[in-house]
Amino acid sequence: MTFTRRSALAAAVAVTLASSIPSFAANKPLTIGFSQVGAESEWRTANTASIKDAAKKDGVTLKFADAQQKQENQVKAIRSFIAQKVDVIAFSPVVESGWETVLREAQAAKIPVILTDRAVNVADKSLYVTFIGSDFVLEGRHAGEWLVAQAAKNPGKKYNIVELQGTVGSAPAIDRKAGFADAIKGNPALTIVRSQTGDFTRAKGKEVMEAFLKAQGKNIDVLYAHNDDMAIGAIQAIEEAGLKPGKDILIVSIDGVKGAFEAMMAGKLNVTIECNPLLGPQLMQAARDVVAGKPVPKRITTVEGIFPAEMAAKEFPNRRY
């Protein structure tokens, strides 16, 4: 079984923009209002840098707002972008639900909305033009499949799994949990014994892992973390408990940031599932296509890979985030 398999680019059917969206001259300077979740992780920092760098390179005026992981801050930012009459609004939603009202306001103002990294749960899909990002369910499934393969090497052994979930209500937390659960479903060797949010942060990941260790003692065989930062925080907690991360406790995480590769090279993390944060160029191209009235796919999926520890040293020099 190979773990270098990459997802194919989405072959979504192109959708024609609603006639209510105004068309723009090709040479008109483009203004994008972008609301970011926050700066909670290495991944998010790289994502923000990619968007800012791509905007600068393309001559796009970027109005950037950091929501500090609060939905109310994003709603305020989107309303501010509407008032400023930007050409396109883009945002990475803190959570999936609760966006209908403000997105209708953007639609009424004839400002197209692009989702990046995270999706929203709305009945009316016309409230946004396209979603650019990863398949979070597939990421979780890849993590589970890797663990299933490892368990198959040790028939008869039972694995107690603790799970560090991402921010409650966020698309990656919901989907990565679902994908992982689906992959290990029906395997009697694999059991999730505890699951709690670590809010995608290193500090919270450490704190929750400490609680897991206190509750479970040494009866933890696997940690599944919804992102690398939580896994790295948990590694510190495991070491402080006198255990060896990557050996006494297998560690499976998602994102593929440099910190995870460093942990793998040190033998402290076993596998990371890539979630590519470098969405800036795709966002700029989609925004230009949208304002030009060109058809764009409703779903644009990024290309990603799976990196077990044995690949870390070879791949590390290629990492850009």
Instruction: Annotate 244-292 with DSSP letters as a single string.
Output: -BTTTBEEEEEE--HHHHHHHHTTS--EEEE-----HHHHHHHHHHHHT
Q: At 165, which CATH number?
A: 3.40.50.2300
- Please report the pLDDT score of residue 156 as a whole number: 94
Indicate the pTM of the whole model: 0.86
Query: CA–CA separation, 232 vs 259, rounded Å?
Result: 8
Whether 114 and 151 share a structural domain: no
Whether 218 and 233 share a structural domain: yes
Whether 32 and 154 share a structural domain: no
Domain-embedded: residue 83: yes
Query: CA–CA separation, 213 vs 248, rounded Å?
Result: 12
Domain-embedded: residue 11: no
Whether 236 and 147 share a structural domain: yes
Whether 38 and 108 share a structural domain: yes
Domain-embedded: residue 302: no
Whether 49 and 63 share a structural domain: yes
**Under DSSP, is residue 20 helix (H, G, I), strand (E, B) or coil?**
coil
Whether 140 and 102 share a structural domain: no
**Under DSSP, is residue 74 helix (H, G, I), strand (E, B) or coil?**
helix
- Please report the pLDDT score of residue 27 as a whole number: 59
Domain-embedded: residue 305: no
Whether 178 and 138 have beta carbons less than 8 Å apart is answered as no
Domain-embedded: residue 1: no
Whether 234 and 148 share a structural domain: yes
Domain-embedded: residue 301: no
Tell me the two tokens of residue 65. Answer: 């707002």
Whether 209 and 93 share a structural domain: no
pLDDT digits (tens, 9 = 90+) for 86-96: 999 999 999 99
Whether 156 and 203 share a structural domain: yes
Whether 53 and 72 share a structural domain: yes
Whether 46 and 186 share a structural domain: no
CA distances from 26 to 32, 292, 295 (A): 15, 7, 15
Residues of the chain short of pLDDT 50, as ranges, are 1-26
Query: CA–CA separation, 120 vs 100, rounded Å?
Result: 9
pLDDT digits (tens, 9 = 90+) for 28-60: 789 999 999 999 999 999 999 999 999 999 999
pLDDT digits (tens, 9 = 90+) for 113-129: 999 999 999 999 999 99
- Which residues constitute the domain of residue 43? 17-134+277-294
Domain count, the chain: 2
Domain-embedded: residue 7: no
- Please report the pLDDT score of residue 303 as a whole number: 81
Q: Minimal CA–CA distance to 91: which of 254, 287, 274? A: 287
Domain-embedded: residue 47: yes
